[in-house]
A and B are shown apart, each in its own frame.
Chain A
Amino acid sequence: MNVEVDQSRCVAAGHCLASVPEVFDQRDDDGVVVLLDETPPEQQHERVREAAVRCPSAAIAVRARDSSS
């Protein structure tokens, strides 16, 4: 899986970090999302997908990784 975040959309509600701290963090000064891992391991996929769905500003995009890439 490939994860992308759009920092300009993020409203810094902190859900993603609360649910998958391995993958998401928040910037210290304004709480905006920081992506720690673009290609998280299998066991985090479900929580990452859930975080993407719950993000209040649709700032997280998840794509299935091309098997070739």
Chain B
Amino acid sequence: MTEPRALPIAARAEDRPFDPAAELYELQREEGLPRVTVPSPILGDFEAVMITRYEDARSVLRDDRLRMGFVFDPEAPRTMLNQPGNLLNYNGDEHSRLRRMLTGAFSVKRVRALRPMIEEIVSARLDALSEAGPGADLVRVFSTPIPTMVICELLGVPYADRADFQHRAQVGLDVNTTREVQIRNLAEMDEYMAGLVADHRKQPGDNVLGGVVRDFGHELTDDELVGIGNMLLIAGHETTASMLSASTALLLQHPDQLAVVRDEPSKIDDAVEELLRYCAPATIMPRQAAAPMSVRGQRIEEGERVVVSILAANRDPDATEHDLDALDVSRQPRPHVTFGHGVHQCLGQQLARMELRVALPALFDRFPTLKPAVPWEEIDYRTTALVFGVRELPVTW
């Protein structure tokens, strides 16, 4: 057997941050199921089966022998990834029991009803951008606060607490901090969230967390409720912020497609779908085989780790006759796994779509002459982070 190749976990092409690394395309063309060594700050280096084809991704993600890469361990220290209540730490019946408590709040209809709230938040951020003036960083003033504010609404975070809340959220995602800083930050988040949960226990708010407390509070421990609150923040904050920044950067480089997003409301749903497929902010999904299984007749052994590359699967040339490396917001939406697939498929996807559908046209409408304030070469994309994005996007108009 050949030595597994090392592959950075995010694996994007060096000078084309939106494209998969050439190695991923090579793996995709191979008939065999490749094993790669994945360097991970959390798990150390590990070897994994790399899934890069669209149909393979769907097939493994629907297989209940494939388990989440991290399972809640009450003995280990609590971290972002290790806490009760986080759906991404559960499998099987335990997972569906918890998930069913949350799905009602994220249905298409319920999310539609949130639209006016999202419009208000977006409009306030556009005012803030205008006030900050040319040179402002779009990531800090626009893309990041929008999803954070939306989650604050879902959790019932009072206005006075929102700046601190956002700060902790940012620290939690910073991979350059030490383990100690992370543990301390999570303790602070837990403490804050525990206060919120206690308030909801006394008087459930008219929001998602309040609703869960009202309807299922008797079945859930405070610890689980805290974990649910943290999960909604962690899962919904950076991914959506990245989509807003990355989509803006991408569209500014494709003015004809930007015009479609800005001027053709009937096409916005399809355009957002194409942007989701193309940007793939959550780049990979980690799993582990709980029992031997097979993909296209090839075995994956019990205990083997499996990494599904969302980025590569969304560009699988075998999935269609279309050119998937081209961005085309006007096309019939091509299928993608940007929100995952199977029982863990993104709980907040309808909400994320709504945020994008409201925020992107509003931004280009309010600032029709928007452009980067620095040369494109200086824009720093987060190509190696677990969640892809743009570090800073100074804009002018």
Which of A's residues lie within 8 Å of B, judged by CB?
11-14, 17-18, 26-32, 53-54, 56-58
**B207 in the interface (beta carbon within 8 A):** no
CB B174 to nearest CB in A, in angstroms, measures 30
**B342 in the interface (beta carbon within 8 A):** yes
**Knowing A54-B335, A57-B62, A58-B62 touch, does A12 contact B107 (C-beta < 8 A)?**
yes
Pick the contact of A18 from B61, B106, B341, B350 — CB < 8 Å? B350
* Number of A-B residue pairs having CB atoms within 8 Å of each other in the complex: 62
**B178 in the interface (beta carbon within 8 A):** no
**Knowing A31-B106, A31-B107 touch, does A57 contact B342 (C-beta < 8 A)?**
yes
**Knowing A11-B99, A11-B103, A13-B349 touch, does A57 contact B343 (C-beta < 8 A)?**
yes
Is A29 a contact partner of B104 (Cβ separation < 8 A)? yes
Is A11 a contact partner of B343 (Cβ separation < 8 A)? yes
A57 to B215, CA, bound (A): 25
Is B108 a contact partner of A27 (Cβ separation < 8 A)? no
Chain A residues in 8 Å Cβ range of B103: 11-12, 30-32
Please name 7 further chain A to chain B contacts, defined as beta carbons within 8 Å, in addition to the given A12-B103, A31-B105, sorted by A numbering.
Answer: A12-B99, A13-B345, A29-B215, A30-B100, A31-B106, A32-B103, A57-B62
Interface residues on B, range: 20 to 34
Residue on B with the closest CB to A12? B103
The 3 closest A-B pairs by CB, nearest first: A12-B103, A31-B103, A31-B107
**B340 in the interface (beta carbon within 8 A):** yes
A17 to B349, CA, bound (A): 13
**Knowing A30-B103, A32-B103 touch, does A14 contact B350 (C-beta < 8 A)?**
yes
Residue on A with the closest CB to B215? A29
Chain A residues in 8 Å Cβ range of B105: 31
Of A30, A54, A56, A58, the most chain B CB neighbours within 10 A belong to: A56
Residue on B with the closest CB to A9? B343
A-contact 0/1 string along B87-105, CB 8 Å cutoff: 0000000001001110111
